[in-house]
Structure 1
Amino acid sequence: MKLRNRNITAILRMYVLLFKNYFSSAMNITVGIILTSIILVTWLFFKTSEYAVIDPYILASCLAINVLRNSQHILSVTITGWKTKKLFHNLSNAPISRGVIFFSILSFNYVLTFLISLQLFGLGMLFSSQREILSGVNWGYFILGYVMLTIMATTLCMAIIFTCSAELSNTINCASYFICMYLLGLGIPWNQIAQIHFLNFILYLIPHRYFINIMQAAWINDTKFTNFQGDGIIFKSISYNGNIIIPIVVGIIFIVIFAIYSIIKIRIFTQLSHTVVSNNYQLTMRNNIYMIKNAQSYGELKKIVDNLKLLNNENDNNYQLIEKHKKFRNKREKHERKLRK
């Protein structure tokens, strides 16, 4: 019970930290909320006409954009910033389990993305063209595509972050967003992309494609991918032989690969973080002893001692964090053993 209460407290504190981190950044608010809302309103004004909806996927596509923005691009910026500021090193050596840390990060991201999606959905319902589409939406497949796209975005983001440098990972995640936006029917209609046949085959390599296609097909209740655009061009590029199970299975395979790889890389990263802090402490103590032994005069010795006092508090704090983390880990392992028995 004590362990559970401690984990809940840690998760709530992480939520507060993540909330402040997200809403204290003008870039996060502008790109993650304001810009996406502007894109939706712009699409609803210019991609619909008085007589017919030119692009039936507008709202579904915007919700997919929101997932990619917040669950991949902005998540990447947040975590790489923490890595650069050594915050992850401190968290890894704090008396909090790694599972609690990453559960807090991912669950907060999922909740935030969902709330922004609700805001965008409400904004779309202000337009009569979108309210008319609702009656024909296949909600089961749409929700499945939305949830799986969110999971895929976060697992792919984690895999990239803990493999590449901060600059490269942010670049890749940002490029991934723009590629999906313009080449997967979110920005450019499918009837134009379908005319470039070699591009359609290349786009099968983009993992987001499968769940975005499921969301788009479910939005107009065309789970066999046989829909015709307003100009009569069939969606041959996303036919999947008329079987919606194919993109679901392929998408899940991508998620499993990204998740396993992310877990391995995160384990390596946290272990290295713990080792680096411990080794730095031991190296610092050896250097201190060496300088004191080699002092040539009382004045030099006093100057060395004064300088060491300034650094001592920080080193002691690091050591205490390591010891607390060890004790906490031992208690948790003992508790888990008792539960198994």
Structure 2
Amino acid sequence: MESPSSSSSSSSSSSTRSEQYRNWLELPRDVTASILQRLGAIEILESAQRVCMHWRNLCKDPSMWRAIDMRNHEYWDTPLDLDHLEKMCRHAIDRSSGQLRDISIEYFGTDDLLKHITLSSSQLRRLRLVSCYHITDEGLNEAAAKLPLLEELDITICLFSKEPLMALGRCCPLLKSFKLNRQGIRSVHIECDEEAVAVAESMPELRHLQLFGNQLTNDGLNAILNGCPHLESLDLRQCFNVNLSGDLGKRCAERIKSLWRPDDPTDDYEFAAEIDDGGSFDENDPSGMSDIDYLSLSEGYGHYEFSGESDLSDDDFTDYDFYDYGDYYFG
């Protein structure tokens, strides 16, 4: 027979456990939405929305898709191919129902996908393209005309000429932040000011400019300073053709509040910053991207757990316009 003290101890232990572990479903809707949004689009479509009907409904809300991040790097080691990633991205865009403001895509970008983004998202404020080698000058040119509200543009390790950059500057008068990043090269002395001139001639309202690993010279930098009078920050790390000694360095120091010089540390740079000393890119991983940090579900919200198993069945997904692309599916 259980003693009173034993019963009291058991009750106390149960009470402590109840306080320590609460049901995730008891979280306020806005808190749950905030947690899910940190997972990234792929994680939501492949996993999170299959947990329970409550999460499923949240994941179908257009407000969940105002920002779409398709840079989920752990998936590059899985069978998900670029075609399926593009289809998944299209589905995420469609879920936004025109509310999309911010999108980041990596590797799988194409002219057709970029066209779908611009036709479906008239309110887009930020566009980020990473290693999107299948987007052409023509595709970016066409997209520029449909991005009148764009404020931030990041282009990292992509292959575009001066012309689409000029088009973006002309068609996006609200553009305040521009990143055009490559890999720094020391081994071969190549000078090219075309991109710098495109920025100088077409983006007069810029406040923030990052040209990591660019081949511009002092002439290109002077053109930027002349053409972009409102610049507040300028990142020239690994721009080894630029010499900031003398008058040019003094001009930058006087004009720019936040200045990164060519040889400044790259610890806070989010991509690989190895200098090319004569080698070439790995075609399978041209960007050398760093890992993306994913949400720890217990971080910041105590400890929560689900009671029982998921309340979703295959029939539920059939009722929710379930998408099936070969061996990959998301609803």
Question: Could you state the TM-score of these two structures normalised by the residue count of structure 2?
Answer: 0.25
Higher share of residues assigned strand:
2
Question: Could you state the TM-score of these two structures normalised by the residue count of structure 1?
Answer: 0.25
Higher share of residues assigned helix:
1
